[in-house]
Chains A and B, each alone.
Chain A
Amino acid sequence: MNLHNVSWVRQEMVLPSARPAGQGGPREWMRKNLFDGWLSTLLTVASVTAIAWLIVAIAPWLGNSIWKANSLAECRQLLDGAPGACWGVIRDRWPQLLFGFYPADLYWRPVLAFALLLAALAPVLFRALPSRTLWFSAVYPGLAGWLIWGGSLWFPVAVYLGFAVAAGLFASTARASQGLGLSVAGLGAALWWVYAAQPFSSAANAVIPIVLEAVPSREIGGFLLSIIIGVTGIATSLPLGILLALGRRSGLPLIYMLSVVFIEFIRGVPLITLLFTASLLLNYFLPPGTNFDLILRVVIMVTLFASAYMAEVIRGGLAGLPCGQYEAAEALGLDYWKAQRLIILPQALKISIPGIVNTFIGLFKDTTLVMFIGLLDPIALAAAIRANTEWQGIYWELFIFIGAVFFIFCFGMSRYSMYLERRLKTDHR
């Protein structure tokens, strides 16, 4: 092109052509990613050495695994001085690690509850299933509680009737005012649970007895306990966290204050303190003679603890939404709750998924803290097993096993959150 001539016109258009063949190949890849300069080469060599050293150190120990032994002494005898992992302890104490001191002839009950848990979770987790299966997810908590703790089936039924009472009261009073309806419904349900639930279930049981052998809470332990606390905590801390987050953004001063005080108080106190409160102090405050289940108390504390964190995570998501979304919802005539449910929360929760799952994983791992108040979670059982003469001195095998199980659960949650993020991605940015 002539420099002095600014006028120029293209004679023919350039057609798209194929991209030149890659300069790839494994050799090229290695040079680019592993040996690109002396620093990179040094790091590569160091990493490979470290991995090799680890493998050399652990491989014989893992390779000599003993699966069948009834005591550490027997295990050592079989190994005959060589290093080796003694997984016999897992095999020997398997039921205990899973169920604690749950009566052996009743193992089918928690197992059935766990299987049903999967069925109850599926429609919640995966949209592919018809939403009509959701009714089972709603019934599941009562059913699982009955299976695990036993007693009369009428007791969970009475608890559920409390919700029915609340719904009925709300429907009949909400027309006057939603606030009034909510208060009346809450009060009615509370009165029902405190005064009517017990007599109702005894009376119903007298007519049609449907009873499973009762199992006291102190016999429940192991991964069963972790899963009970973890799943209940996860399932209840999310809605509670949502309410707290909305409360913290509320324009009503009382609700705002309550939410802030609750969140800041709970976040400022270590979980272990709350657990000690649950196990010791509550006894002083509750009227004497009340029998308030220890696991239930712990679940409540763990839930409250997680919900404070959850609230802050969700508040971040709410703050991340452009205010145009609120305005558009309002301009269409949606009231506060409908706008939140249909427009704001679906988007805010989507943004918050990584933080929410983070809190879930934290909660699940924190369930191991209950050992400090005398509940028999897997870690506490490991300590008990190691105190036993047969397995005195065993160490790595138990903790590796417990760690692996926790890892599977937590990794599963993490993968699920990634799946969910992908499924909900509609912004096409």
Chain B
Amino acid sequence: MSKTLRGLSPENRRGLSETAVEITSMNKWYGDFHALRDINLTVRRGERIVICGPSGSGKSTMIRCINRLEEHQSGKIVVDGIELTSDLKKIEEVRREVGMVFQHFNLFPHLTILENCTLAPIWVRKVPERQAKEIAMHFLEKVRIPDQAHKYPGQLSGGQQQRVAIARSLCMKPRIMLFDEPTSALDPEMIKEVLDTMIALADEGMTMLCVTHEMGFAQAVADRVIFMDQGQIVEQNEPRAFFSAPRSERTRTFLGQILGH
């Protein structure tokens, strides 16, 4: 498909493509360790996917391959109509369209909240500074922290920092958002505020891939839940069926462990 579309401008290409992410027979090794094995995954535009699985099962590695923070060794990944190869221009093009939220926020501590949010629009998208500030304030209001705009990340609580990190990604107006355990480093009373922000985002139709163990969130917003183990996709299903009638033994054990007690 990508061959026939290559001649088109990015806008047309995206207009035509109903698939946000397409991963085909993808494998990844860390040295000799086979971290991802034969991954096949198609994400439709607007689809919300929750990925879960035991620690070390390759969840992070898989979503980090989507914006090429990790390089895959075989198979094919097409994001937003662009195939990921070692071509730096293509990689940067993909990264402009794919936002990512990390477990440890990774805000830039030497910049204010507002500067964190305007940096990429100004330097990557070449948005004029005034306009970038407006966009930033718009999204900071959305995540409900506009009054902290001139503070530094170190002065905010974990939950606030994570909401800023979400706003920072949104300022690039991405078409796809990746979340890698966004609430795992947070105190329980802050988890809800971050999840609420993510639910609001899901309601607006953003294409989302979330690695998370918040099963309530999965049940509320996910179109599909994916269970991974040992570098493979073991089971996927729509959430209700996934939780009420898991088909694989591994999934049952895993769900028993995180929901059981």
Which parts of B102-133 form the interface with A (CB within 8 Å)? 102, 104, 106-110, 119-120, 123-124
**Residues B123 and A325 in contact, CB atoms below 8 Å apart:** no
- List A contacts of B102 (CB < 8 A): 324, 327-328, 331
> Are the C-beta atoms of B154 and A426 separated by less than 8 Å?
yes
Bound CA span A48–B172, Å: 66
Any B CB within 8 A of the CB of A19: no
- Give the distance to chain B from A380, nearest Cβ to Cβ, in Å: 44
Stretch at the interface among B28-36, B75-83, B92-100, B197-205: B92-100
> Contacts A325-B108, A327-B69 hold; do A428 and B154 have CB atoms under 8 A apart?
yes
Instruction: Indicate if the CB atoms of B109 and A426 lie closer than 8 Å.
Output: yes
* Of A331, A332, A350, A428, the contact of B119 (CB 8 Å cutoff): A332
- State the Cβ distance, B170 to closest chain A Cβ, in Å: 11
- Size of the B side of the interface (Cβ < 8 Å), in residues, is 26
Chain B's nearest CB lies how many Å from the CB of A422?
Answer: 14
Contact A342 to B154, CB < 8 A, known contacts A324-B106, A327-B69, A333-B96: no
Contacting residues, chain A, for B16 (C-beta < 8 A): none
Distance between A123 CB and nearest chain B CB, rounded to angstroms: 20
- Tell me if B152 counts as interface (CB < 8 A to partner A): yes
Q: How many residues of A contact B (CB 8 A)?
A: 23
Say yes or no: is A32 at the interface (Cβ < 8 Å to chain B). no
What sequence of 0s and 1s flags, for each residue 54-76 of chain B, a beta carbon within 8 Å of any chain A beta carbon?
A: 00000000000001010000000
Docked-complex contact B88 and A331, CB < 8 angstroms: no
**B108 touching A343, Cβ below 8 Å:** yes
Interface flag for A338 (CB, 8 Å): yes
Q: Is the CB of B106 within 8 A of A426?
A: no
Q: CB of A330 within 8 A of chain B?
A: yes
A332 to B96, CA, bound (A): 6
Partner of B69, one of A330, A427, A428: A330
- Say whether A342 contacts B123, CB under 8 Å: yes
The answer to whether B108 and A328 have CB atoms under 8 Å apart is yes
A410-429 contact mask (Cβ, 8 Å, vs B): 1 or 0: 00000000000000101111
Pair B124/A427 contact, Cβ less than 8 Å: no
Bound-state CA distance A91–B154 (Å) is 55
Cα separation A302 to B126 with both chains bound (whole Å): 40
The answer, yes or no, to whether B85 is at the interface (CB within 8 Å) is no
- Provide the residues of chain B in CB contact with A333, threshold 8 Å: 92, 95-96, 120, 124, 172
| Given A331-B67, A347-B109, A426:B88 Cβ within 8 A | no
Q: Which residue of B lies closest to A339 (CB)?
A: B123
Secondary structure at the A interface, as helix, strand, loop or mixed, is helix
Residues of A353-393 whose CB lies within 8 A of B: none
Asked whether, in the complex, the Cβ of A332 is within 8 Å of the Cβ of B124, the reply is yes
Assess whether B152 is in contact with A325, with CB atoms less than 8 Å apart.
Answer: no
| Complex: A258 Cα to B243 Cα, angstroms | 57
User: Which residue of B is nearest A323, CB measured?
Assistant: B106
Establish whether residues A334 and B69, one from each chain, have CB atoms under 8 Å apart when the complex forms.
Answer: no
The docked-state distance in angstroms from the alpha carbon of A153 to that of B20 is: 61
B67 CB contacts on chain A under 8 angstroms = 330-331
Residues 176 to 226 of chain B near chain A (Cβ within 8 Å): none
Q: Which residue of A lies closest to B99 (CB)?
A: A331
* Measured CA separation A333–B168 after assembly (Å): 12
CA distance in complex: A154, B123 (Å)? 37
Alpha-carbon distance A322/B154, docked complex (angstroms): 15
Asked if residues B152 and A428 are in contact (CB atoms below 8 Å), the reply is yes
Residues of B close to A428: CB separation below 8 A:
152, 154-155
Chain B residues with Cβ below 8 Å from A329 are: 108
User: Is A346's CB within 8 Å of the partner chain B?
Assistant: yes
**CB <8 Å contact, A426 and B152:** yes
* Residue pair B110, A338 in contact (C-beta under 8 Å): no
Chain B residues with CB below 8 A from A429, complex form: 154
> Residue on A with the closest CB to B151?
A428
- Establish whether residues A331 and B95, one from each chain, have CB atoms under 8 Å apart when the complex forms: yes
Interfacial chain A residues near B96, Cβ < 8 Å: 333
Q: List 28 A-B contacts (CB under 8 A).
A: A322-B106, A325-B108, A327-B69, A328-B106, A328-B107, A328-B108, A330-B67, A331-B95, A331-B98, A331-B99, A331-B102, A332-B119, A332-B124, A332-B169, A332-B172, A333-B95, A333-B120, A334-B119, A334-B120, A338-B123, A342-B123, A346-B110, A347-B108, A347-B109, A347-B110, A426-B109, A426-B152, A428-B152
Known contacts A333-B172, A427-B109, then 9 further A-B pairs from the complex at CB < 8 Å, ordered by chain A residue: A322-B104, A327-B106, A330-B67, A332-B120, A332-B168, A333-B95, A335-B88, A335-B92, A347-B109
7 tightest A-B CB contacts, nearest first:
A428-B154, A328-B106, A324-B106, A332-B120, A333-B95, A331-B100, A333-B96
